[in-house]
Amino acid sequence: MACVELDGRPHAVTGSYDSTVRVWDLTDGSVRATLTGHTGWVRAVACVEIDGRLHAVTGGNDGAVRVWDLTDGSVRATLTSHTGHSGWVLAVACAEIDGRPHALIGSHDSTVRVWDLTDGSVRATLTGHARAVYAVACVELDGRPHAVTGGIDGTVRVWDLTDGSVRATLTGQAGAIFAVACVELDGRPHAVTGGNDGAVRVWDLTDGSVRATLTGHTESVITVACVRIDGRPYVVTGGDDKIIRVWDLELHWLVETVGLPMPTDAVAISGIDIVIGMRNEVVFLARRGQ
């Protein structure tokens, strides 16, 4: 799931087990578009601007990465070839490298592939994870674009996207890592991860240390998303225990919980509001007073 503004209105782009990608207008709850073409579960969605137009990049069980023009719903590209993933696509994030938009794709085949979205070529294949890669996020470190990845092997890897090297391998999460997001705290870039052990860890990406471990979830954490509200950084987390938690990342406090009828599969932020994916449902939580 990802959020984006189209025609001046907030929208959510969601992938589903039914093989579709839907674009939802969050102002009135209507479906702006249903994008079809995938032949299996769509597990990952990210949004990016290409040639001045907003696009969605999606992937899933069919192993294909599709790039959709969100203005007219057309498919700009389908990224499959002998250089493509040999397994499910599990995670997507986008970054600018050398002035060009790229998609970072985490896969069941344990690789992270970096696709140039201008011409559809593979810039790099990042290897090092021992098992499936379920989480990818992008961040700038020392003026260079980096990817932060996690997966079933329980490690968090930080990759320099300019040359494809591994800047750091972070260990300490017990079990698989299913989610990662990036945020700036005290002027330094950090990653927030969640996984099988139910803990949410906050990593200082400058020195690789753990800034905080946030506990409270009683089952796997499947999704994390960062947001600033009134200038303060927060992280929204959810997973199999059917509870959304909102944490203050400066104080490391739990500030809000929301009980849900089903496990949380995805969370995205639209402004300061929260969009939640739960199996076949999409829920929009607006901040009180709006």
Q: Give a yes or no: residue 39 inside a domain.
A: yes
pLDDT at 221 over 80: yes
Q: Give a yes or no: residue 201 inside a domain.
A: yes
The pLDDT value recorded for residue 84 is: 54
The pLDDT value recorded for residue 81 is: 53
pLDDT at 205 over 80: yes
**Which band of pLDDT confidence, cut at 50, 70 and 90, is reported for residue 287?**
confident
d(CA 13, CA 8): 15
**Which band of pLDDT confidence, cut at 50, 70 and 90, is reported for residue 32?**
very high
Q: Give a yes or no: residue 265 inside a domain.
A: no
pLDDT at 82 over 60: no
User: How many structural domains does the chain have?
Assistant: 1
The chain-wide mean pLDDT, for the chain, equals 95
Contact 135, 157 (CB under 8 A): no
Q: For residue 15, how many C-alpha atoms fall within 13 Å in the half-sphere facing its CB?
A: 30
The pLDDT value recorded for residue 192 is: 98
Q: Give a yes or no: residue 91 inside a domain.
A: yes
Q: Which residue has the tokens 């994390």?
A: 224
d(CA 276, CA 85): 28
Q: What is the CATH number of the domain that holds 142?
A: 2.130.10.10
Mean pLDDT of 276-283: 92
Mean pLDDT of 207-229: 97
**Which band of pLDDT confidence, cut at 50, 70 and 90, is reported for residue 113?**
very high
Contact 150, 132 (CB under 8 A): no
pLDDT at 86 over 80: no
d(CA 275, CA 103): 22
How would you label 57-83 residue by residue, b for 16+ Cβ within 10 Å and e otherwise? bbbbbbbbbbbbbbeeeeebbebeeee
d(CA 78, CA 43): 16
Question: Percent of the chain having pLDDT more than 90?
Answer: 93
Give the tens place of pLDDT for each residue, 3-12. Answer: 999 999 999 9
d(CA 79, CA 240): 32
Could you give the maximum distance between any two Cα atoms of the chain, in Å?
A: 52
Give the structural domain span for 93: 2-230
The pLDDT value recorded for residue 83 is: 47
The pLDDT value recorded for residue 280 is: 86
Give the tens place of pLDDT for each residue, 246-274. Answer: 999 999 999 999 999 999 999 999 998 99
Contact 157, 150 (CB under 8 A): yes
Q: Give a yes or no: residue 137 inside a domain.
A: yes
**Which band of pLDDT confidence, cut at 50, 70 and 90, is reported for residue 120?**
very high
How would you label 263-285 residue by residue, b for 16+ Cβ within 10 Å and e otherwise? bbbbbbbbeebbbbbbeeebbeb
**Which band of pLDDT confidence, cut at 50, 70 and 90, is reported for residue 173?**
confident
